[in-house]
Structures are given as structure tokens and as C-alpha cells.
């Protein structure tokens, strides 16, 4: 019992020490034992991102974490600037969702030298030095791409002709764009009739999806399927398809990833055919991991988010209860 309390006191004082800067991370809230987290968000490009920001902000509040938040407007240089400013402010922990996968080693080394632990959330970096961050919390994007591809394989198994697929990729160089492409391509190898005839980035935005789809429609009279890397791009594609006088979900089938409210509404209205879920609700797990890291507890190298998929029928059933 006594031993247990001693451990608890030791753990608590370790947390306080770290939070107040005892290991070189003098907290912005010096004098209190509140954890200060610097969070460098990608931007506000999609419904998913808005829900993710809300989740992080609400969870920080609930967990009593003092959150410093920045929006990089989808630019890596802005994110690097934000991280450097968090290092200067001596926050206790930095969390960020990297806009793109490469180019992070220098700034991550600066955080390490300043003794500030880093947690990756949502997206990965391609750094070979795994000591530059404590853990990575987020989805398995390759798996998401595979699930999307598996649906196309199943849906077109009786096709007698080539099935022409166009792909609207996410932000060039980002982990979800790279991995979803990889997973999707892997899955559709199962049927040689499935062909990606065009592939371009819509930068994970609705306007980007619309623009790319307009160009695809102009250059390819015979499109059967759209694979959009997120709901917003798919929603933009719907606008372009309707403007071209075609019926989304029927003349051209649409598969997307995310399952945010607008996407799920289009799915239940028959304009999208299938959605692979990517959960933005990472806030609670992030706060938990941050507390553990700062208490010196071990955390898994990788925490994978649990996710499902939705057909049109399933979307109708759950739409009213979707939290985002």
C-alpha cells in the first residue's frame, strides 16, 4: 500500500517536474502543474480537419491541458515555424499532424535537443530516426485505401468491359495520399479489368475535387468510378458530375474516405456509393498519451485508430447519430 502511494507520489512529482520545466521544458504555465501542449494543425481544408481540431480542443479542456494551437494553412513552412515557436515557449509536449511526410528531421532534432517530447497525430513522417518522436497516433491509411479498392473489386466483379477509374488524390506528399493510393492500387490488382485512367491531386478540398473532376470529365468521356481520397473531394466531384449532366452514384460511382456528416448525407442520398471511415476523434487518446509520456510511462510506438466502412443502407441508419 505504502509502496503503491510512493510510486503514485513519485509519478505525480515527475509529472509536475516535467510540466514545470525540470527537464529543460520549463512550462509556459510555470508555477502550476498544468501540462502545456503546442499543437501544430495542418489547416482547415476539410470537414474531417474541422472535426479533428474540435476533438483536440475539447479533449484538452477536459484533460486540463493548456493547449497552444496553430493552423498551418496546409503549408509545411508554417508548421515548422509553429513548432519552433513552441520550442522557444518551452511547452511541455508538442503534437502535430504533418502536412507532408518528408523534411522534418531538422526541427524534430531541435525539439529533442530542447528535451521536448513530440507526438505525431493523424499523419506520419518518413524519418528513419524513430527516437525523434514518442509515438504515432492515427489511422492505417494503406488499409483505408485497400478497403476502398476492395469495394470497387466486389462491385465490378461482373463487368464485361474495362472499368475506367479516376483518382482524386489528397495533398501531394502527404501520408494519407501516398498510403491510400498504395492500398487502393494493391486491392484493384485483383481484377485486371480495373484501370486507373487519370490521377491528380485535389489537395483534400472540395474546390480542388471539383476542379480536378471537371478536367477529368473534359478529357475522358467514359468514366465509371471516382476514387476520391476524402469526402470533401468526392463532394466537389459530385458538383462537377452534375454540372456535366450526369448522375453521381449511378452514371459514375463514387468511393471516398472519411465518413464526415456531409459525406454520409451524400452516401445516404445515393450520390456516393461507399465510404471508408477515417476517424478524426483523436483528442482523448492524444491527451492520454501526452500525460503518459510526461509521467515517464512507456507508450506504444504506434496507436492505430479503429475504423469501419459504410454502404448507402448503413449510412441511412447511422446518419442522425453521427457526431461530426
**Binding track, positions 213-232, relative to ligand AHR; x by CB under 6 A:** -----------------x--
Looking at 25, 36, 41, 46, which residue binds ligand AHR (CB under 6 A)?
A: 46
User: Cα separation of 133 and 119, whole Å?
Assistant: 6
Among 163, 115, 146, CA closest to 18:
115
In the complex, least distance from residue 283 CB atom to ligand AHR, rounded to whole angstroms: 14
Q: Which of residues 189-208 bind ligand AHR (CB under 6 A)?
A: 204
Contact between 66 and ligand AHR (CB under 6 A)? no
Strands 274-277 and 309-311: antiparallel
Contact between 45 and ligand AHR (CB under 6 A)? yes
Handedness of CA 311, 316, 322, 324 (dihedral sign): positive
Kindly indicate which of the ranges 40-48, 63-71, 107-115, 211-219 contains the residues binding ligand AHR, using the contact rule CB under 6 A: 40-48
Whether the Cβ atoms of residue 166 and residue 220 lie closer than 8 Å to each other: yes
Looking at 123, 134, 147, 206, which residue binds ligand AHR (CB under 6 A)?
A: 123
In the complex, least distance from residue 309 CB atom to ligand AHR, rounded to whole angstroms: 14
Strands 225-228 and 309-311: unpaired
Among 167, 124, 178, 183, CA closest to 255:
167
Max intra-chain CA distance, the chain: 76
Contact between 278 and ligand AHR (CB under 6 A)? yes
User: Cα separation of 87 and 106, whole Å?
Assistant: 13
Whether the Cβ atoms of residue 72 and residue 83 lie closer than 8 Å to each other: no
DSSP 3-state of 94: strand
Nearer to ligand AHR, 38 or 209 (CB): 209
Nearer to ligand AHR, 228 or 294 (CB): 228
Contact between 277 and ligand AHR (CB under 6 A)? no
In the complex, least distance from residue 281 CB atom to ligand AHR, rounded to whole angstroms: 12
In the complex, least distance from residue 282 CB atom to ligand AHR, rounded to whole angstroms: 10
User: Cα separation of 181 and 186, whole Å?
Assistant: 8
User: Cα separation of 47 and 54, whole Å?
Assistant: 11
User: Cα separation of 305 and 123, whole Å?
Assistant: 12
Total residues interacting with ligand AHR, rule: CB under 6 A:
12
Looking at 40, 56, 87, 257, which residue binds ligand AHR (CB under 6 A)?
A: 257
Contact between 101 and ligand AHR (CB under 6 A)? no
- Judged by the rule CB under 6 A, the positions of this chain that interact with ligand AHR are 45-46, 48-49, 122-123, 176, 204, 230, 257-258, 278
Amino acid at each position: 500500500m505504502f509502496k503503491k502511494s510512493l510510486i503514485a507520489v513519485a509519478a505525480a512529482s515527475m509529472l509536475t517536474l516535467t510540466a514545470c520545466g525540470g527537464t529543460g521544458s520549463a512550462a509556459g504555465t510555470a508555477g502550476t502543474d498544468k501540462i502545456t501542449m503546442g499543437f501544430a494543425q495542418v489547416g482547415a481544408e476539410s470537414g474531417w480537419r474541422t472535426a479533428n481540431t474540435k476533438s483536440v480542443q475539447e479533449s484538452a479542456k477536459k484533460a486540463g491541458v493548456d493547449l497552444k494551437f496553430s493552423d498551418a494553412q496546409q503549408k509545411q513552412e508554417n508548421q515548422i515555424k509553429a513548432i519552433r515557436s513552441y520550442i522557444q515557449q518551452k511547452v511541455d509536449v508538442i503534437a502535430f499532424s504533418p502536412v507532408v511526410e518528408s523534411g522534418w528531421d531538422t526541427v524534430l532534432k531541435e525539439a529533442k535537443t530542447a528535451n521536448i517530447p513530440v507526438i505525431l497525430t493523424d499523419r506520419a513522417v518518413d524519418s528513419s530516426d524513430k527516437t525523434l518522436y514518442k509515438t504515432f497516433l492515427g489511422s492505417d491509411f494503406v488499409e483505408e485505401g485497400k478497403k476502398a479498392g476492395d469495394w470497387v473489386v466486389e462491385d465490378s466483379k461482373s463487368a464485361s468491359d474495362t472499368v475506367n477509374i479516376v483518382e482524386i488524390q489528397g495533398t501531394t506528399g502527404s501520408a494519407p495520399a501516398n498510403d491510400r493510393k498504395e492500398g487502393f492500387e494493391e486491392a484493384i490488382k485483383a481484377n485486371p479489368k480495373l484501370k486507373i485512367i487519370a490521377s491528380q491531386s485535389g489537395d483534400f478540398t472540395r474546390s480542388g475535387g471539383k476542379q480536378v473532376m471537371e478536367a477529368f470529365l473534359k478529357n475522358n468521356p467514359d468514366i465509371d468510378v471516382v476514387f476520391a481520397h476524402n469526402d470533401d473531394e468526392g463532394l466537389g466531384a459530385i458538383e462537377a458530375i452534375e454540372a456535366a449532366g450526369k448522375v453521381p452514384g449511378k452514371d459514375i460511382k463514387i468511393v471516398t474516405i472519411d465518413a464526415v456528416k456531409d459525406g454520409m448525407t451524400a452516401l445516404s442520398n445515393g450520390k456516393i456509393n461507399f465510404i471508408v471511415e477515417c476517424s478524426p476523434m483523436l483528442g482523448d487518446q492524444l491527451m492520454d498519451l501526452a500525460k503518459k509520456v510526461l509521467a515517464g510511462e512507456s507508450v506504444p510506438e504506434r496507436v492505430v485508430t479503429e475504423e469501419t466502412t459504410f454502404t448507402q443502407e448503413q449510412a441511412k441508419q447511422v446518419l442522425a447519430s453521427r457526431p461530426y
